[in-house]
Amino acid sequence: MRDYSLTGPENAAARAKGLASAEWYRCAIPRKRMKELMQRRDGPAIRDTITWFAAIIGSGALLYLAWGTWWAVPAFLLYSVIYAGPSDSRWHECGHGTAFKTRWMNDVLYQIASFMVVREPTSWRWSHARHHTDTIIVGRDPEIAATRPPSFLTLALNALHIKNTIAELRRVVLHSLGRMTEAEKDYIPESEYPKVFRAARAWLAVYLAVIAACFAMGSVMPLFFIGLPSLFGAWLHLFFGLTQHAGLAEDTLDHRLNSRTVYMNPVFRFMYWNMNYHIEHHMFPMVPYHALPALHEAIKADTPPPYPSCWAAYREIIPTLLRQAKDPTYFVRRPLPGAQLEPSTSFAAAPAA
Amino acid sequence: MSNAGWIETCRADEIDEEDVLRFDHGSLTLAIYRSADGKYYATDGLCTHEQVHLADGLVMGDIIECPMHNGRFDYRTGEAKGAPVCVNLKTYPVKVEGGRVLVQIG
Ligand code: FES
């Protein structure tokens, strides 16, 4: 198995092969059109944020009313999925600074969504920046969800966000003590450390307040409103997130070969804030989520055919991961329009020596 | 006035208001801006976070936003406005003569 860590030999190997901070393929698009697509707006994200929080409050009220009966179980699951499912995409879009036109709105929702999805805001901002610079470059990208061979145990645990949460809580404690991990030092500049430490301490204070509330009320109910929903609703963002890159090429410099664009229904697109247009998002990360369908139309002639549904994507992903469990060199080769039909062999992934 | 160190770049009307254009001169890459009030500015063309051309980014008021990770600079002064850009951009004097944008690089 290749070493997916950022501190192992693959990091230097990727740099030696020219795969780090490299120039990526980009579909041609006139500057005027691109400027239109990059324009920021507040309206769509304000509307979506009000809708989201209204749904959280509504399902939370149901949970509160059902508390003490068996109806609390479905109410909790509903509340969790509404709470945690979209928190990933809100964290993501606001991290890019593109969700709203008004900067403070991005920043406020980013902080709230980071807490809800259990991702420390500053560390993950930098980790995600690296994911964009070196998308699915082994040894460089800290956000490779499906390794080769895949770890089904990790994927199963992350359906409940367990592994991520344990790792994150460990880091929160570490950061609140004023320390960073070795991997983080690879992608977070030192000048950002104070922000990391401050956020970790704020998170600890919130967790302690929730625990104190449990004691004060003599009930675990507060934990079912803040804390546990991040675990029990995580399956939805894993379900969306795995469609992004799982089973596709590693170490290629073309997002059309390592990312998927999947058509989804309007409810999913609301929850996922259009990140199903994932090739488009990676190729032009500064295009806001509400403009991704238009960007898709603008470049789709130069991208592989989109997957018509989640079902179609998973019909490819599941057998691919099963096959990669036995043959880690296997990956899905996406057909490119025009002459180039396969990933360039020089960048095609090979198992590390 | 001497034109030593000045290079002729693009036509002034080649850049829209509130927009940016890339101009390469040997190994030097510049980003040349035209503000909403019709003034011209020039900075290094590559972001100080990573080697990304700022001319692919978005000009919003006095800010150029990098197309890669949302790094923002004041293109008039080169000031980095926060993470992930921590290092300021180099700026260059600019003048417009005979409908051309001249930049002093030396
Ligand atoms: S390359 Fe410009 S912000 Fe990262």
CATH no. for residue B87?
2.102.10.10
Please give the single-letter amino acid code of residue A135: T
| CB of B71 closer than 6 angstroms to any ligand 1 atom | yes
d(CA A338, CA A221): 58
d(CA A303, CA A263): 14
CB contact under 8 A, A125 and B83: yes
pLDDT exceeding 70 applies to what percent of chain A?
96
Question: A242 in helix, strand or coil?
Answer: helix
The pLDDT score that the predictor gives to residue B30 is 96
In the prediction, which pLDDT does A352 show? 31
pLDDT band at A133 (very low <50, low <70, confident <90, very high): very high
pLDDT of A128 above 80 = yes
Asked whether the beta carbons of A243 and A167 are under 8 A apart, the reply is no
Burial class (CB in 10 A: 0-12, 13-18, 19+), A207: middle
A162 close to A231: Cβ distance less than 8 angstroms: yes
Q: What is the pLDDT of residue B63?
A: 96
Longest dimension (CA), chain B: 41
The answer to whether the beta carbons of residues A183 and B78 sit under 8 Å apart is no
- Size of chain A, expressed as the number of residues it contains: 353
Q: Do the domain assignments include residue B20?
A: yes
pLDDT at res. A187: 77
Contact between residue A131 and residue A145 where contact means Cβ atoms under 8 Å apart: no
Q: What is the dihedral of CA A127, A149, A84, A196, to 10 degrees?
A: -20
**A277 closest CA partner among A253, A295, A258:** A295
**Separation CA B95–CA B106 (nearest Å):** 14
The residue among B30 and A159 whose pLDDT is bigger is: B30
Question: Does ipTM come in above 0.90?
Answer: no
Name the band, by pLDDT with cuts 50, 70 and 90, for residue B64: very high
Tell me, what amino acid is at B8? E
Classify strands B91-92 and B94-97 as parallel, antiparallel or unpaired. Answer: unpaired
Nearest CA to ligand 1 atom 3: B71
Percent of chain A with pLDDT over 90: 86
Q: What is the pLDDT of residue B1?
A: 52
Range of the domain at B82: 6-104
Least confident interval from A179-193, A244-258, B43-57 = A179-193
Where along chain A do its domains lie?
41-133+162-232
Two tokens at B2?
Answer: 């001497």
Q: Do A286 and B70 touch (CB under 8 A)?
A: yes
Give the whole-angstrom CA distance, residue B103 versus residue B106. 9
- Residue A349 is predicted with a pLDDT of 32
Closest CA to A138 of A278, A322, A15: A15
Which residues are within 8 A (CB) of A165 and not within 5 positions of it... i.e. 6 or more apart? A118, A230, A231
Phi, psi dihedrals of residue B19, rounded to the nearest 5°: -150, 180
Report CB contact under 8 Å: A97, B68: no
Strand order in the sheet with B58-60: B58-60, B63-65, B72-74
Within a domain: B1 = no
CA angle A177, A183, A189 (to 5 degrees): 75
pLDDT beyond 90 at A348 = no
In Å, what is the CA distance from A88 to each residue of A116, A153, A174, A237, A275? 8, 21, 23, 6, 10
The pLDDT-based confidence of A158 (bands split at 50, 70, 90) is confident
pLDDT of residue A148: 95
Whole-model pTM: value is 0.90
The whole-chain average pLDDT of chain B stands at 93
Question: Does the CB atom of residue B67 touch ligand 1 within 6 A?
Answer: no
Residue type, A122: T
pLDDT mean over A120-125: 89
Half-sphere exposure of residue A13: CA atoms within 13 angstroms, side-chain side: 19
CA A191 vs CA A195, A237, A331, B69, B83: distances in Å: 9, 31, 39, 17, 9
Q: Is B97 in the pocket of ligand 1 (CB under 6 A)?
A: no
The answer to whether A63 and A224 are in contact (CB under 8 A) is yes
Task: From chain B, pick out residues whose CB is under 8 angstroms from the CB of A188.
Answer: none
| Averaged pLDDT for residues A274-292 | 97
**Total domains present in chain B:** 1
Q: Collapsing DSSP states into helix, strand and coil, what is residue A246?
A: coil
Q: Could A38 and B58 be called an inter-chain contact, meaning their C-beta atoms sit closer than 8 Å?
A: yes
Amino acid occupying residue A234 = A
Contact B22, B42 (CB under 8 A): no
Measure B51 CA to ligand 1 centroid, in angstroms.
8
Q: Rounded to the nearest 5°, which phi and psi values hold at A137?
A: -95, 115
- Looking at the predicted structure, is the pLDDT value of residue A80 above 90? yes
Categorize the per-residue pLDDT at A183 as very low, low, confident or very high, splitting at 50, 70 and 90: confident
Contact A347, A19 (CB under 8 A): yes
pLDDT in tens, A286-325: 999 999 999 999 999 999 999 999 999 999 999 999 999 9
Cis, bond preceding A149 (omega within 30 deg of 0) = yes
Give which of A78, A104, A119, A51 is closest to A273, Cα–Cα.
A51
Per CB-CB distance under 8 Å, the chain B contacts of A15 are: none
Give the SS3 label for residue A128: helix
Q: Out of A67-71, A120-124, A344-348, B79-83, give the one with best mean pLDDT.
A: A67-71
H or E segment to which residue B5 belongs: none
**Could you tell me how many residues make up chain B?**
106
Kindly report the nearest CA distance between residue A320 and chain B, in angstroms: 30
Tell me, using a 6 A CB cutoff, whether residue B51 lines ligand 1. Answer: no
Structural domain contains residue B33? yes
